[in-house]
Structure 1
Amino acid sequence: MKWISTDIEMYLKAAEYVDTAIIPLFPVAFGDGMKESSAKTEFSGLLSGLLERQFRGRVILLPGIPYLNGSEDSLILQLEEWEKVLAEGGLKHVFYITSDIGWKQRESRLGGSLLWMPSLPLEHMDEASKMSVLEDQAKQLMPLFARKWEELDGV
């Protein structure tokens, strides 16, 4: 389910079945890093949307969190608060999706699961090719979701 009113209405009726939040992390840079950060943001956003469609009914896709390059450490405090509020709301699992390799160094400080995928150059692809590439990437992540759910749920 996405963070849109019709999906939230559906979520409210079936909240007991939704135990996972997906939160995309979007780096923002200006100047020399602008094009690279926008590509990472685009890739992570599209991939998160595809994962939401694959796991519809079990996950809620929250709006992506933008942050300035270099501010990741201060964002961790905000993410801790997100995790607390989400847990209080019944969401047992939090998955962060990013194409920013810098998060791998901070992964141990996150309560949720970090899923890092390098962004692929989508800018010159037609829509069909884009979707094919994204579906391939999502297929690689799907077993990671299942494994984390098994670990944390004891299934």
Structure 2
Amino acid sequence: MRFRTDDMDTYLQSKDYVDTMMIPLVQVTWQQDAKRIVQAAEFLALLAGEVERQFHGRMMYCPGFTYASMEEMSDHVERLNKWREEMNEAGFKHILLLTTDTTWKEVESSLSGMKLLFVAPLPLESLAVQDQQEMLSQQVRTLLPTLMEVWQ
């Protein structure tokens, strides 16, 4: 389910069964590597949408957690841990953080109660829609063992 009005109605009726929140970690910058960062953000949105589609009814897809590349990582971690507290209070048992940014791996141990899922970004903009869909499905298949581990 997504953070949309129609999905929220469904979530509120069946929230006992929706135990997982997925949050894309979206970096924002206006520096010279901005295009690479934007491509990664687009890829994350598409991948998160595909994961949500395949696990609809079990997972809520949160709007992205955006952060500026020039900010301190400790500030991101602190803010994200506050998000976790609210989501835990709402009943989400599993919080998945989806990222293409390797710097999150350095602070992974500080992300208490959340599972970091790192994926290498794929440049999808030059591919046909059908090829994009196939690549995204392949990425979801690579995440599947980790998801199953989290849910056991």
> TM-score, normalization: structure 2?
0.96
Q: Does 1:62 align with 2:62?
A: yes
Q: What letter corresponds to residue 141 of structure 1 in structure 2? A: L
For residues 73-129 of structure 1, the C-alpha deviation after alignment (integer angstroms, 9 at most, x for no partner) is 211111111111111111010000011111111111112000000101112111111
Residue in 2 that maps onto 1:52: 52
Q: CA RMSD in A?
A: 0.9
Residue in 2 that maps onto 1:98: 99
Residue in 1 that maps onto 2:16: 16
Q: Which runs of 5+ in 1 are unaligned?
A: 151-155
Counterpart secondary structure, 1:108: helix
Residue in 2 that maps onto 1:87: 88
For residues 59-85 of structure 1, the C-alpha deviation after alignment (integer angstroms, 9 at most, x for no partner) is 100001111113232111111111111
- The Cα shift of 1:31 comes to 2.4
The count of aligned residue pairs is 150
**Identity score, percent:** 34
* Alignment map for 1:59-138 (pairs within 5 Å): 59-71=59-71, 72-111=73-112, 112-138=114-140
Residue in 2 that maps onto 1:35: 35
Give 1 or 2: higher helix fraction: 1
| Distance (whole Å) between structure 2 residues aligned to residue 133 and residue 65 of structure 1 | 24
Q: What letter corresponds to residue 81 of structure 1 in structure 2? A: K
Residue in 1 that maps onto 2:3: 3
Counterpart secondary structure, 1:32: coil
Q: Which runs of 5+ in 2 are unaligned?
A: none
- The Cα shift of 1:132 comes to 0.7
